[in-house]
């Protein structure tokens, strides 16, 4: 094995510092003005992106350009659109799912307030006559807290419209006094996939389920019948428990050239859909496909995604195949060949003492729990991992060998070579340090530079769901969001799997990266050895818990050990904690794991300023209290 490079987590473009924000704000304006001055005027363009309710975006729009946002809503949603900080007058338009204009406002602070009367994908458009205008657009609103579908006699399927990203509590009721008690047989999401559910209460006239995350657009189908084959008439109602609050921006990230991810309607044939659009089918996921556009369409991924969505009724949503990265961290002791660190240093490090790991392991050790590590691969021969690694999958090389790899190339052009190498091994080792009897399910979704596409990560999540994972670790992220990946995360949660994700290393005090921002995920930020927020870590009230993330010691490929810093490693430690909790409460729901992580966390030190304490979210992870 060649000498390993100094490990560094890949950069994620999360919320920057105030000075960095100012640079990002002025640079696009300068570029747009430059285009207008050189050669007269820039060519008008049109872009369309997906947006989430209670999300926001900041961008620069040129004169004549159209910035459109697709917003999936259910009937009864009170929608509030706001333009803020626009440099010039803009025109804001809301269109119905059929394309009809519902409302228009033109001003520097344009706004629209409407309660929508139908379910579907609405379109928000922004235009301006100015040469280049910076703006912030907010998508605020409140979805109806409850609703329901029709009725069925002697059993059948009832459809209910629910907002994607919501947590809903479903109840089947018997209509009238006579007939058998209702029984829910199956729940399917908008892609036709079966969703795991748990009965919370069952009575003679109703059956209620525990909250289920809505993992895809298109609502939910519920199969209901009379208990023990009896007859009756039944209806289904739902109550909204929680909604994904859109805590990430929706700017475009780095994209895989000429590659789109298409979410398909239930029953759609992947090959037929790809052929009808004139695209090449690359791979098929559970509810989505990955296609390649023609050779002359490089750079037109957003436009082609919009075209695919508009051209085929079998396409629920379309987006470019965007890259996510392992977050960048500050290294206090890089791994080098000949390091003097060893296994004893891992097991005796202050990070474990800070979480009271030894006391927790007197109650649980992770026995019988499977932790899926979706990362750069794993060195299964390392002494800290040997005997704990299950057969895995590689969604980068597309084979059954999820081992760490080095290719000696700067694939992402950032001046660093193989900077992702060792990341997965390190995280898996940390999880096992906390839960030494757990099993690791290795899923390689990041390349040797620590990058992975939306399609690879979504496929990896679905594979982990199908192959026995109880906990999924996602030490990766981006500052944009993805409908396909968000759906995959919610699908895992809906099937009873706890998802743990890193908040990112942009140093943002009040925002976290995607997919840690998805509702129901254990979002983990980092603290330094003194218990204060790590300077590099994203955090804030949206973070579930904080765990040690600075100078953490763990295993590295080739029987080596090293120290590494970043929220990635905080998430790895928290995944081990989740495994301990799942062992003690095998039927615990992911939502209950999130609550318990928060409720048992130790408060931030009172010596910290209030703003610093808020950065730690629910508080500092306490493993002993977690499993009591």
Write the CA distances from 584 to 368, 369, 599, 627, integer angstroms.
10, 10, 17, 7
> How much of the chain is helix, strand and coil, in % rounded to 5?
20, 35, 45
Q: Is 559 left (phi over 0), alpha (psi -120 to 50) or beta?
A: left
Angle, helices 423-434 vs 567-584, to 10°: value is: 40
Most confident of 56-60, 297-301, 540-544, 604-608: 540-544
- The Cα–Cα gap between 156 and 185 comes to 10
The pLDDT tens digits for 26-74 are 434 443 434 333 334 445 677 777 787 777 888 889 888 999 998 888 8
Residue 6: pLDDT band with limits 50, 70, 90: very low
Q: Which fold has domain 253-325?
A: Alpha-Beta Plaits (3.30.70)
Domain boundaries, the chain: 146-243, 253-325, 333-408+416-626
Q: Determine if the peptide bond prior to 409 is cis (ω within 30°).
A: no
Query: Which residues carry out catalysis?
Result: 375, 423, 568
Q: In this predicted structure, what is the pLDDT of residue 283? A: 94
Closest residue by Cα to residue 427 from 584, 573, 329, 526: 573
Residues sharing a CB contact under 8 Å with residue 492, sequence separation 6 or more, in sequence order: 461, 462, 464, 465, 469, 472, 499
- Mean pLDDT along residues 199-223: 86
Closest residue by Cα to residue 130 from 83, 65, 85, 63: 63
Answer with the residue of higher pLDDT: 588 or 267. Answer: 588
Q: Is 413 left (phi over 0), alpha (psi -120 to 50) or beta?
A: left
C-alpha of 589 from chain center: 18
Is the pLDDT at 523 greater than 50, yes or no? yes
- Mean pLDDT along residues 580-592: 95
- Mean pLDDT along residues 388-410: 92
Write the CA distances from 21 to 58, 241, 515, integer angstroms.
11, 34, 22
Q: What percent of the chain has pLDDT over 90?
A: 56
Closest residue by Cα to residue 501 from 566, 586, 429: 566
CA atoms within 13 A on the CB side of 58: 15
Give the architecture (CATH level 2) of 146-243.
Sandwich (2.60)
- The answer to whether domain 146-243 and domain 333-408+416-626 are alike in fold is no
Q: In this predicted structure, what is the pLDDT of residue 163? A: 79
Q: In this predicted structure, what is the pLDDT of residue 59? A: 85
Q: Which fold has domain 333-408+416-626?
A: Rossmann fold (3.40.50)
For residue 417, the tally of other CB atoms under 10 A from its CB is 15
């Amino acid at each position: 094995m060649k000498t390993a490079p100094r490990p560094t987590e890949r950069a994620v473009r999360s919320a920057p510092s105030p000075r960095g924000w100012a640079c990002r704000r002025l640079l696009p304006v300068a570029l747009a003005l430059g285009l207008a001055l050189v050669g007269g005027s820039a060519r008008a363009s049109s872009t369309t992106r997906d947006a989430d309710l209670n999300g926001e975006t900041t961008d620069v729009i040129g004169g004549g350009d159209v910035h459109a946002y697709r917003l999936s809503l259910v009937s009864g949603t009170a929608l509030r659109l706001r333009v803020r900080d626009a440099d010039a007058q803009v025109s804001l338009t809301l269109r119905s799912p059929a394309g009809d204009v519902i409302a228009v406002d033109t001003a520097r602070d344009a706004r629209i307030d409407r309660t929508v009367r139908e379910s579907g994908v609405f379109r928000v458009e922004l235009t301006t006559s100015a040469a280049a205008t910076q703006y912030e657009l907010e998508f605020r609103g409140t979805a109806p807290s409850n609703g329901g579908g029709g009725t069925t006699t002697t059993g059948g399927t009832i459809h209910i419209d629910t907002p994607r990203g919501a947590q809903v509590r479903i109840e089947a009721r018997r209509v009238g006094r006579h007939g058998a008690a209702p029984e829910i047989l199956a729940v399917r999401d908008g892609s036709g996939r079966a969703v795991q559910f748990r009965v919370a209460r069952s009575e003679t006239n109703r059956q209620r389920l525990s909250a289920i995350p809505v993992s895809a657009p298109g609502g939910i189908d519920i199969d209901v019948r009379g208990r023990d084959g009896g007859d009756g008439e039944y209806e289904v109602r739902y109550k909204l428990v929680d909604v994904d609050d859109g805590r990430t921006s929706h700017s475009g990230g780095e994209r895989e050239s000429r590659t789109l991810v298409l979410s398909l309607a239930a029953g759609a044939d992947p090959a037929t859909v790809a052929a009808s659009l004139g695209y090449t089918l690359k791979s098929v996921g559970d509810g989505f496909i990955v296609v390649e556009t023609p050779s002359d369409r490089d750079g037109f991924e957003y436009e082609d995604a919009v075209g695919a969505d508009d051209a085929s009724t079998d396409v629920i949503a379309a987006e470019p195949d965007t890259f996510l990265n392992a977050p960048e961290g500050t290294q206090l002791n890089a791994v080098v060949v000949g390091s003097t660190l060893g296994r004893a240093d891992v097991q005796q490090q202050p990070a474990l003492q800070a979480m009271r790991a030894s006391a927790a392991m007197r109650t649980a050790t992770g026995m019988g729990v499977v932790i899926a590590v979706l990362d750069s691969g794993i060195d299964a021969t390392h002494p800290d991992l040997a005997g704990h690694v299950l057969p895995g999958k590689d969604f980068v090389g597309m084979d059954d060998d999820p081992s760490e790899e080095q290719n000696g190339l700067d694939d992402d052009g950032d001046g660093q070579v193989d900077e992702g190498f060792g990341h997965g091994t390190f995280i898996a080792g940390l999880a096992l340090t906390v839960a030494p009897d757990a099993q690791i399910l290795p899923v390689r979704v990041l390349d040797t530079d620590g990058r992975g596409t939306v399609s690879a990560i979504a496929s990896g999540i679905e594979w982990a769901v199908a192959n026995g994972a109880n906990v999924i670790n996602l030490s990766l992220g981006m500052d944009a969001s993805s409908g396909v990946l968000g759906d995959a995360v919610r699908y895992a949660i809906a099937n009873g799997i706890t998802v743990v994700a890193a908040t990112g290393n942009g140093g943002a005090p009040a925002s976290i990266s995607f997919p840690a921002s998805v509702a129901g995920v254990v979002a983990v930020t980092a603290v330094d050895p003194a218990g204060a927020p790590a300077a590099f870590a994203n955090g804030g009230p949206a973070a579930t818990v904080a765990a040690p993330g600075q100078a953490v010691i763990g295993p590295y490929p080739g029987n080596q050990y090293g120290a590494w810093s970043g929220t990635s490693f905080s998430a790895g430690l928290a995944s081990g904690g989740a495994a301990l909790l799942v062992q003690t409460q095998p039927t615990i729901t992911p939502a209950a794991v999130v609550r318990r992580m928060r409720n048992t966390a130790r408060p931030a030190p009172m010596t910290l300023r209030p703003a610093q304490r808020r950065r730690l979210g629910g508080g500092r992870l306490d493993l002993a209290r977690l499993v009591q």
